[in-house]
């Protein structure tokens, strides 16, 4: 069974990919801590609601309930990087080491949480299929 066909796993993998991208942007911000004129960057927040709009339902039996489409599509383009201006240092650098370290810690904790959800979801699938979890 291909887990990428399940909406739950698509959402989990999407969140994990977003967290990896955010960690890369945070690392770039820290690397440019002393670069004159550098502005701290961040990526567009992950939206579960937007991700769920991309999930399509499939009726495998005529007796299944069909969900009505809301017509929103969910194909809106979002910018991948947001620039944020905080207090500027005399050299024009707008990166706060403390703020970036907090974002890095939050991102790592979120990644651990999503990894645990993924692991437990696999365990539930195994149990449902009659395997040992």
Question: Which of 30-34, 46-50, 63-67 has the lowest average pLDDT?
Answer: 63-67
C-alpha span between 113 and 64 (Å, rounded): 33
Averaged pLDDT of the chain: 79
pLDDT band at 125 (very low <50, low <70, confident <90, very high): confident
Question: Which of 49-53, 79-83, 103-107 has the lowest average pLDDT?
Answer: 79-83
Task: Tokens for 17, please give them.
Answer: 């990919």
Whether the pLDDT of residue 107 is over 80: the answer is yes
Query: pLDDT tens across 56-94, in order?
Result: 666 677 777 766 554 444 443 444 555 555 577 778 788
pLDDT of residue 12: 87
3-state secondary structure 37-85: CCECEECCCCCHHHHHHCCCCCCCCCCCCCCCCCCCCCCCCCCCCEECC
C-alpha span between 23 and 46 (Å, rounded): 13
Range 38-66 average pLDDT = 74
CB proximity list for 73: less than 8 A, separation 6 or greater: 53
- Note the maximum CA span of the chain: 68
pLDDT of residue 76: 38
pLDDT of residue 100: 92
pLDDT of residue 89: 78
């Amino acid at each position: 069974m291909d887990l990428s066909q399940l909406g739950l796993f698509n959402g989990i993998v999407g969140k994990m990919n977003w967290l990896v991208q955010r960690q890369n942007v945070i690392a770039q911000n820290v690397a440019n801590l002393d670069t004159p004129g550098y502005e701290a960057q961040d990526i567009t927040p992950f939206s579960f609601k937007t991700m769920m709009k991309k999930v399509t339902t499939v009726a495998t039996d005529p007796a299944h309930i069909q969900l009505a489409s809301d017509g929103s599509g969910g194909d809106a383009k979002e910018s991948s990087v947001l620039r944020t201006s905080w207090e500027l240092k005399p050299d024009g650098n707008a990166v706060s080491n403390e703020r970036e370290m907090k974002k890095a810690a939050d991102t790592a904790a979120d990644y651990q949480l999503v990894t645990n959800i993924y692991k437990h979801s696999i365990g539930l699938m195994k149990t449902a299929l009659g395997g040992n979890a």
